[in-house]
Structure 1
């Protein structure tokens, strides 16, 4: 049983959109909001309706959808000093947005009150009180964000507390303490939040920025100190270095602190999917090192680690990766032991003892190639081909006898290949595309299933000077047949030759799995 509940406010669509190079279309915002509701967040801060037409349109458009749990919140500021609450555009834009929840920010740092807002401390207290009371009189639930609270508390604790007390007196339902500058360390967050918790009776929350890399830690420490409301963004996007990453906070609250958050364990399994959706919409490659959901979050490279995890997973894993919709991954590299190869081969249905001398030979070849510029943790399928050959599971389906590329002035290229005694010519956009087409045309006569294979990623890396050799290039290619993905590599002094090597390995790997091992047939029947 969970001890207590913590509510989550997602501000990806508002604070997250304020990050550099981040922009959401209206359709993007709707898509993310629906996914957040499915995840189970309590509040979705849709934007600032008084600041731009797109946000105003969002609040109209989202009403066409039935949300299962989340409440849509509109963001705005306390009233302007020279206007009455009845005439203030920010307050009235929230009311016009026709939402149930308002998120209102106001000044709690005396520096901002006197030097930025240019009002007296007493006037600011009236502004905070009147603004909240006005929205409450219209039936809204009000979450008051005390801007720069932690900075304000450290300089003038009495005044910072007087601001949040005024918000409580006005009827605020939640008072969120904001580390707006993102510069407060976790131990100070804990101490200050605890003092506020002892002073106020209303629910308090935390809104942390990541300027010193502590936004997630600060959010957790605030909860430890008594906060029961957490604000953040998916993947930590936001102003400057970003906001607190909810993808890290949510599973930690549930799995490490035993708190009731969102829809519990059911929500955790959706975290990776939600994270990927936001990355995809923004056109940003997913962070492979992101805790919990990154591709490398449960990747094991050192042979000692792999051997232990295969025996007892929790020896090197803090949770079961499936809890958060992720998978365990074993990496093959020069640092690997035979256990790494064993784990890969088991997935292919090949059971072999890790002490098998053939595995040692395969691993030695892998290490020799890595010394020459390969990086099999990026292109593991090429390493698996080496192991299959040493173990005797390999059958030679592709015999490339000759290849050549002719580049035309038009920008097109002609690829000529002789493979399995078949000569083929193809024209393509660039040399790699031309060779790829020619290879497929030749191979599909005997292996029609090759038509299912698509090239989905192509990367060229300069690994630098390799000892006792000239400079080389490393080409990594990712393939898919619509069901599984795999990556292969080629290394050469010529980028085209390296590309041909990776292409051949990619098609060869597919045929080994399809023809020799029957692995793909088993996957497709699942």
Structure 2
């Protein structure tokens, strides 16, 4: 296993976007009271930033006005387009920062009746206006991994010269692999010193792995959502990323109160009317379930660490030893009770 100095030396924080990307999940429709509860859970866990939607939507703007009044919370950032109306309404809503999404797609620029030079001039005005209002600013390019890299770099360098807080890159289609991440990030870091934020979709099941590869290769901030919910197959799950952080560097993970993660993700699952996915460690029934005879034998005789990379109690969950099945071997009820008495369920 690699040392933390090789993997997380660039890491600065988590930007949770459950209230923006997560709202794009098919079954999401968060009421204001649910949004407040989500912010409180994320604050309790200790995520570093929270991203919300675009205040050009009346209902979103009204909710933002309420959310920013919550005490003892992380900074709340609004995801907006490179448009004057968006920045004005973001400022009006009382937000702490803006995440400005840009396009370098010639077809989209043409549809907006803009040349790239005009688009960059609009971006300059929006960045300066945000900064004049003491807002944190990130500039990203949509679908960076499919975009024209030379043009995207122009946007990034232009933004860096204006001293934005972060540059954002997204794998919007969810098809990038770890070697793509390493190659692109290494190249970006030759030209950019500004913090880099990454946003990975999970269509090929690589979102968490890609986030770790990105941090190792020079990125600083990772976008997550509770349960990993989002458009299509979602993005990097908060619980899974925090688990990786805990395994590779328990010291950095002490910044976060991991014991609330299971409760937070199960609460969100209730909001959307779905079960916590069986393959997440926050699933209370299966996240730490052991059934195979060889596993049960090892746990009973050598302790939980033989088949648990993380103790379930770290994330506020419990373990289950499943016996009496055709594959559970000789483990019986008494053996399981003795195990729980010695090691506990968490």
Contact persistence 1:128–1:166 (CA under 8 A): no
Task: Give SS of 1:11's match.
Answer: strand
Task: Give SS of 2:121's match.
Answer: helix
Give 2:294's aligned residue: 304
Which residue of 308, 318, 321 corresponds with 2:312? 321
Task: Give SS of 2:55's match.
Answer: coil
Q: CA deviation at 1:235?
A: 0.4
Q: Does residue 287 of structure 1 match 2:272?
A: no
- Structure 2: give runs of 5+ residues left out of the alignment: none
Deviations 1:162-216 (A, max 9, x none): 1111111122101111111222122101210121122111111101111222111
Q: 1:267 to 1:116 in 2, by over 3 A?
A: farther
Task: Give SS of 2:305's match.
Answer: helix
Moved more, 235-244 or 289-298: 289-298
- The aligned runs of 1:256-295 (5 Å cut-off) are 256-257=248-249, 260-261=252-253, 263-264=254-255, 267-291=257-281, 293-295=283-285
Moved more, 286-295 or 40-49: 286-295
Deviations 1:403-458 (A, max 9, x none): xxxxxxxxxxxxxxxxxxxxxxxxxxxxxxxxxxxxxxxxxxxxxxxxxxxxxxxx
Deviations 1:78-131 (A, max 9, x none): 12xxxxxxxx22111111011221111111x44455465453333333333332
Q: 1:29 to 1:348 in 2, by over 3 A?
A: closer
Deviations 1:385-419 (A, max 9, x none): xxxxxxxxxxxxxxxxxxxxxxxxxxxxxxxxxxx
Deviations 1:305-342 (A, max 9, x none): 10101222222222222222222211121111122534
CA distance in 1, matches of 2:143, 2:32: 30
Q: Does residue 180 of structure 1 match 2:176?
A: no
Q: Does residue 132 of structure 1 match 2:127?
A: yes
Structure exhibiting the larger radius of gyration computed from Cα positions: 1
Give 1:222's aligned residue: 214
Contact persistence 1:43–1:73 (CA under 8 A): yes
Give 1:143's aligned residue: 138
Corresponding residue pairs, total? 334
Give 2:99's aligned residue: 103
Q: CA deviation at 1:349?
A: 7.1
Task: Give SS of 2:281's match.
Answer: coil
Q: CA deviation at 1:38?
A: 0.8
CA distance in 1, matches of 2:251, 2:89: 35
Give 2:67's aligned residue: 62
CA distance in 2, matches of 1:324, 1:112: 46
Q: 1:243 to 1:20 in 2, by over 3 A?
A: same
Q: CA deviation at 1:258?
A: 5.3
Q: 1:136 to 1:334 in 2, by over 3 A?
A: same
- Structure 1: give runs of 5+ residues left out of the alignment: 80-87, 351-526
CA distance in 1, matches of 2:25, 2:85: 25
Q: CA deviation at 1:133?
A: 2.1
Contact persistence 2:247–2:309 (CA under 8 A): no
Moved more, 244-253 or 294-303: 294-303
Q: 1:118 to 1:259 in 2, by over 3 A?
A: farther
Q: Which has the higher contact order (CA 8 A, sep 6+)?
A: 2
Contact persistence 1:8–1:42 (CA under 8 A): yes
Name the Cα RMSD after superposition.
2.3
CA distance in 1, matches of 2:48, 2:22: 17
Q: 1:133 to 1:344 in 2, by over 3 A?
A: same
Q: 1:268 to 1:122 in 2, by over 3 A?
A: same
Q: 1:137 to 1:337 in 2, by over 3 A?
A: same
Which residue of 25, 29, 38 corresponds with 2:31? 25
User: Structure 2-normalised TM-score?
Assistant: 0.89
CA distance in 2, matches of 1:211, 1:130: 35
Q: 1:28 to 1:349 in 2, by over 3 A?
A: closer
Task: Give SS of 1:12's match.
Answer: strand
Contact persistence 1:19–1:237 (CA under 8 A): yes
Contact persistence 1:46–1:72 (CA under 8 A): yes
